[in-house]
Amino acid sequence: MQLAPTFFGLLALCATALACPGEDHDHADHAHVNKREFPSVPLTPPTRPLTWGDLNIIHTTDTHGWLLGHQKTSFPEPNYSGDFGDFASFVSHMKEIALEKDVDLLLVDSGDLHDGTGLSDGFPAGGVDAHESNKFIAELPYDVMSIGNHELYIYANTLDMYQNFVPKLKGRYLSSNVNITVAGKDGKPVSVPVGNRSVKFKTRKGRKVTSLGVLYDFTDNDHNTTVQRVQDMVKENWFKEAIAEQPDLFLLVGHMPVQRDNWPAVFNAVRAVHPTTPILILGGHSHVRDCVQLDGRAMSLESGRYMETVGWMSVDLDERNQHQNLTFSRRYLDPNRVTYEFHSGRSNRTFDTLQGRQITSGLQQLSKQFDLEELFGTAPHDFTLSRDPFPSNDSALSLLVQQALPVALAINNTRANIPNIIISNSGELRFDIYAGPFTKNDQLTTLPFADSFLFLPNISAGVAKQVLPTLNGPSANERKRALERRYADLWGRGHVDHVYRAWLADMDARSGRARRAMANLTLGYVTHDACPGAGDDILHAPLPFFDSPDYVGSDAPNVTDDTPIDLVFINFIEDDVLSVLNGLQTQKNFSDADVLSYSPILANEALGLFALKAWN
């Protein structure tokens, strides 16, 4: 967690008419704000109000435990510095505005509450991922939530959701095509929906809503959970019965991208029965900001990842003329207090609600309980996944394979003196490393995977040196075709990084250099979607983007080609390594039986161990 802002940093914030941490707070507020640690850099406020309609939606998705906000000072992190207590206060004020305007306002989430930060993943032995952090999400007045794939990787997590979280939503947690197997009343196993398959409710203004919650065709769910293909779900009798009655609008919520996936299958099934009924789709999963209209009386919105975006959708419902196009709006908000205060019409003095302060305090207590501020060391500068080229001194991937893994895996290792090459997949890292304190929370955020390290001994250096370049492919075209085949499989298992990276690359290619030359723009998302008008709430310059290989490795040892060395690799890529190695030589056909454990240290420990040695 970053250091508290300096006095001059606070003056800079106040001078630009932004939220000032100590301003106009009573003693309780002052203590809260001192602990909140505001970013010590000025934040750009929005320039235009939100467009309100008859029905409005605040949307979150893929929050992945990012409930304490992004608290590093390097951009774009300050854009997303609001915590979940701030968000709760924002929702409360927006509900009040909706009452004043006499319109409907719904709060919707599209799944993936697990796996992302120490708040969800840093639980002590015997705990369950996100069990504690989800309690804070349940405090907000969500009208509809849907299940995500990260709720299904581990049965214990799914069961925890079924038993402890779903009941708090009182029938509004939806899992239309996802079941869990539990003990029935007679003690025998029975497969039941994790939540509800559908729900019908009325808004405050009396509008009838039919809602479903769909998960994309996920294939890597744990035992005793089932995910039905979307194409099959829409043929079910329960689905036909759920959509038979005409509501005032359909609210389709799901952990599925709004483009290039299966939403049209659901949309078309509804449209076949109700040709003109308004359809609002709230999607997720691919971690991008996106919007598309499947016809003139529908809109689909996707609101990013990691509490880096809060989505807004509004629509004017013309009940008298059911054949003309509807007027929609959408906006992608940067979740910070400046944004929240601007759109709620509150000042720093009046913004915090009692519930918001209590949620912030509770999250901070959970952070202490999980010891997430345990300090491993101080990162000397930023290390990024895609804003700097690989290899380079500022590349997080270079840091991992050229510095961190060689240091961490040598600890208490009897083979440390034997030359080696260490290979990992680049997707092992999930987030950037920022200058300043590197804590237990940063370790879990950056590399959360409990993958192990394996090795093959006595591989001639000349052969071992060829493994990494062969993994990355000799030809760009061949590599592209191979990746397309591989990503089809990885997509089903939940891999979205290639989609998010392609989005960043397109953003940079469109306007990166020109917009970064504009001194008045800070780094952030610059969205180009398929809906009319500007979607981003605040103008930014896109982040620089550099591609990186799918496999990365440590520097090869300076030995002759016939020197036997250890070929070390992460267990996730074992099959790939063996396949390549067997294609490079004919002396031995390597199999799983030849693979040995290299170190008891797991991947999610490596950066912390390195920081203890190198950054102190």
pLDDT tens by residue, 509-557: 999 999 999 989 999 999 999 999 999 999 999 999 999 999 999 999 9
Say how far apart CA 370 and CA 383 lie, in whole Å: 25
pLDDT of residue 214: 98
CA angle 45, 46, 51 (to 5 degrees): 155
Same domain, 25 and 121: no
Residue among 523, 519, 521 at smallest CA distance from 542: 523
pLDDT of residue 57: 99
- The structure tokens listed for 125 are 């032995």
* 19, 9 contact by CB (below 8 A): no
Full strand arrangement of the beta sheet holding 327-333: 173-174, 144-146, 104-109, 55-60, 310-316, 327-333
Same domain, 182 and 242: yes
Domain that holds residue 345: 43-369
Give the amino acid at 36.
R
Say how far apart CA 431 and CA 121 lie, in whole Å: 15
- The structure tokens listed for 92 are 């409360």
CA angle 456, 461, 462 (to 5 degrees): 125
Least confident of 146-150, 253-257, 496-500: 496-500
Say how far apart CA 25 and CA 337 lie, in whole Å: 15
Residue 527 domain-assigned (yes or no): no
> What is the SS3 assignment for 49?
coil
Taking only the tens place, the pLDDT of each residue in 139-187 is 999 999 999 999 999 999 999 999 999 999 999 999 999 999 999 999 9
For residue 596, with 0-12 CB atoms within 10 Å meaning exposed, 13-18 middle and 19 or more buried, which class applies?
exposed
* 218, 227 contact by CB (below 8 A): yes
Residue 477 domain-assigned (yes or no): no
pLDDT of residue 586: 94
Same domain, 379 and 356: no
Least confident of 8-17, 336-345, 460-469: 8-17
pLDDT of residue 342: 97
Q: At CB < 8 A and 24+ separation, what contacts does 10-15 make?
A: 10/38, 10/40, 12/40, 12/41, 12/42, 13/38, 13/40, 13/42, 13/43
b/e 82-104 (16+ beta carbons within 10 angstroms → b): bbbbbbbbbbbbbbebbeeeebb
Same domain, 338 and 390: no
> What is the SS3 assignment for 109?
strand
Residue 448, pLDDT above cutoff 90: no
Residues forming a β-bridge with 437: 378
What does the DSSP 8-state code read for residue 114?
Answer: S
Same domain, 304 and 444: no
Residue 558, pLDDT above cutoff 90: yes
The answer to whether the Cα torsion of 19, 20, 21, 25 is positive or negative is negative
Same domain, 268 and 359: yes
Residue 536 domain-assigned (yes or no): no
Angle between helices 263-271 and 237-244 (to 10 degrees): 50
Taking only the tens place, the pLDDT of each residue in 63-96 is 999 999 999 999 999 999 999 999 999 999 999 9
pLDDT category at 473 given cuts 50, 70, 90 is confident
Say how far apart CA 212 and CA 249 lie, in whole Å: 12
Looking at per-residue confidence, does 487 or 406 come out higher? 406
Full strand arrangement of the beta sheet holding 208-215: 198-202, 208-215, 249-255, 279-283, 298-303, 289-292
Which CATH number characterizes residue 554's domain? 3.90.780.10
pLDDT of residue 19: 38
Angle between helices 337-344 and 84-101 (to 10 degrees): 10
pLDDT of residue 479: 56
pLDDT of residue 38: 55
Percentage of the chain beyond pLDDT 70 is: 92
For residue 420, with 0-12 CB atoms within 10 Å meaning exposed, 13-18 middle and 19 or more buried, which class applies?
buried
Same domain, 15 and 149: no
pLDDT of residue 480: 61
Q: Can you tell me the mean pLDDT for 579-607? A: 96
Taking only the tens place, the pLDDT of each residue in 257-299 is 999 999 999 999 999 999 999 999 999 999 999 999 999 999 9
Q: Can you tell me the mean pLDDT for 391-399? A: 98
Same domain, 443 and 415: yes
> What is the SS3 assignment for 59?
strand
Same domain, 180 and 254: yes
pLDDT of residue 242: 98
Same domain, 311 and 186: yes
Percentage of the chain beyond pLDDT 90 is: 87
Residue with tokens 């996100």: 130
- Indicate the number of domains in the chain: 3
pLDDT category at 482 given cuts 50, 70, 90 is low
pTM of the model: 0.92
- The structure tokens listed for 514 are 């020109």
Same domain, 160 and 289: yes
Q: Can you tell me the mean pLDDT for 495-507? A: 95
pLDDT of residue 2: 34
* 312, 331 contact by CB (below 8 A): yes
Say how far apart CA 7 and CA 12 lie, in whole Å: 9
Residue 3, pLDDT above cutoff 80: no
Same domain, 419 and 351: no
Domain boundary among 369, 384, 419: 369
Least confident of 227-236, 263-272, 475-484, 520-529: 475-484
Say how far apart CA 1 and CA 364 lie, in whole Å: 11
Residue among 566, 382, 581 at smallest CA distance from 466: 581
Residue 507 domain-assigned (yes or no): no
* 204, 96 contact by CB (below 8 A): no
Say how far apart CA 385 and CA 328 lie, in whole Å: 36
Residue 476, pLDDT above cutoff 80: no
For residue 352, with 0-12 CB atoms within 10 Å meaning exposed, 13-18 middle and 19 or more buried, which class applies?
buried
Say how far apart CA 15 and CA 34 lie, in whole Å: 19
Domain boundary among 369, 403, 427: 369
pLDDT category at 137 given cuts 50, 70, 90 is very high
- The structure tokens listed for 463 are 């052969």
CA angle 293, 296, 301 (to 5 degrees): 25
Interacting residues of 498 by C-beta distance below 8 A, sequence separation 6+: 483, 487, 490
The answer to whether the Cα torsion of 468, 473, 475, 476 is positive or negative is negative
* 13, 20 contact by CB (below 8 A): yes
Residue 485 domain-assigned (yes or no): no
Residue 530 domain-assigned (yes or no): no
pLDDT of residue 475: 60
Residue 329, pLDDT above cutoff 50: yes
Residue 321, pLDDT above cutoff 90: no
pLDDT category at 11 given cuts 50, 70, 90 is very low
